[in-house]
């Protein structure tokens, strides 16, 4: 795009210079001064110079086309800046999302660790109760297990010998015994 504009400008300038040579006018010394421009000032100055040159050549269509080209170039620059800002924002969002994923994994691992430690504590408690119940008489064991939570009682019964379990069930209240036997059978499957 810049090459096209520069080629067009060079062509226009050469036509203008050819006309100036024919008129044999001396070059303007004010034009040859060196000055530092900001990008916006440079763009404005280029537009003004192009317009002057093209007006001198009396080619109105060239003026309009050149203005259009310069405006399009400016639009492209603005779009490129906008795209770059969007890309930076996407990268920032991506990094933040990755940090949140890492934090989530960290919390998940802590929760899994807590659940595993709770399971280990429960298993130790069940094993201890199995040791206690296995050394008790069946009628005492029946009273103790009748007062426990259903899941805990079934876990304890599942680790006892079958003969001991049948004696405990026979000595329990019939409703409690029926409920525990049903869960005990489901657990054994």
Same domain, 52 and 103: yes
Q: Nearest CA to 177 among 148, 151, 152, 146?
A: 146
Alpha helices in the chain (DSSP H): 2-23, 39-56, 60-134, 138-147, 150-158, 162-171, 174-188
CB 154 within 8 A of CB 183: yes
Residue 19 falls inside a structural domain: no
CB 16 within 8 A of CB 57: yes
Question: Structural domain tally of the chain?
Answer: 2
Q: What gap in Å lies between CA 131 and CA 149, rounded to an integer?
A: 18
Residue 50 falls inside a structural domain: yes
CA–CA distance from 188 to each of 10, 131, 181, 182, 184 (Å)?
A: 94, 20, 10, 10, 6
Same domain, 111 and 47: yes
Residue 11 falls inside a structural domain: no
pLDDT at 66: 77
Residue 141 falls inside a structural domain: yes
Same domain, 104 and 171: no
CB 2 within 8 A of CB 74: no
Residue 8 falls inside a structural domain: no
Same domain, 114 and 153: no
Q: What is the mean pLDDT of the chain?
A: 83
Structural domain containing residue 178 = 136-188
* Residue pLDDT, tens place only, 41-93: 887 888 788 777 766 666 666 677 778 888 898 999 999 999 999 999 999 99
CB 149 within 8 A of CB 141: no
Residue 30 falls inside a structural domain: no
34 — pLDDT class (breaks 50, 70, 90): low
Same domain, 44 and 93: yes
Residue 99 falls inside a structural domain: yes
Q: Nearest CA to 1 among 82, 61, 76?
A: 76
Other beta carbons within 10 angstroms of residue 133's beta carbon come to 23
Q: What gap in Å lies between CA 31 and CA 154, rounded to an integer?
A: 101
Residue 85 falls inside a structural domain: yes
Backbone angles phi, psi at 121, to 5 degrees: -65, -40
Q: Which residue has better confidence, 49 or 134?
A: 134
Same domain, 89 and 159: no
pTM of the model: 0.47
């Amino acid at each position: 795009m810049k090459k096209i504009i520069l080629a067009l400008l060079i062509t226009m300038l050469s036509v203008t210079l050819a006309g100036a040579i024919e008129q044999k006018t001396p070059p303007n010394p004010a034009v040859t001064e060196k000055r530092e421009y900001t990008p916006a000032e440079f763009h404005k100055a280029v537009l003004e110079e192009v317009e002057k040159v093209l007006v001198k050549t009396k080619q109105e269509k060239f003026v309009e086309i050149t203005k259009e080209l310069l405006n399009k170039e400016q639009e492209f620059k603005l779009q490129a800046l906008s795209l770059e800002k969007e890309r930076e924002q996407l990268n920032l969002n991506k990094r933040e999302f990755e940090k949140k994923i890492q934090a989530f994994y960290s919390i998940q691992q802590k929760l899994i660790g807590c659940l595993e430690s709770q399971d280990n504590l429960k298993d130790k408690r069940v094993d201890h109760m199995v040791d206690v119940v296995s050394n008790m008489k069946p009628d005492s064991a029946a009273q103790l297990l009748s007062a426990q939570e259903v899941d805990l009682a079934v876990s304890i019964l599942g680790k006892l010998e079958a003969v001991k379990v049948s004696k405990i069930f026979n000595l329990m209240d019939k409703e409690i015994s029926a409920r525990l036997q049903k869960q005990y059978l489901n657990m054994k499957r």
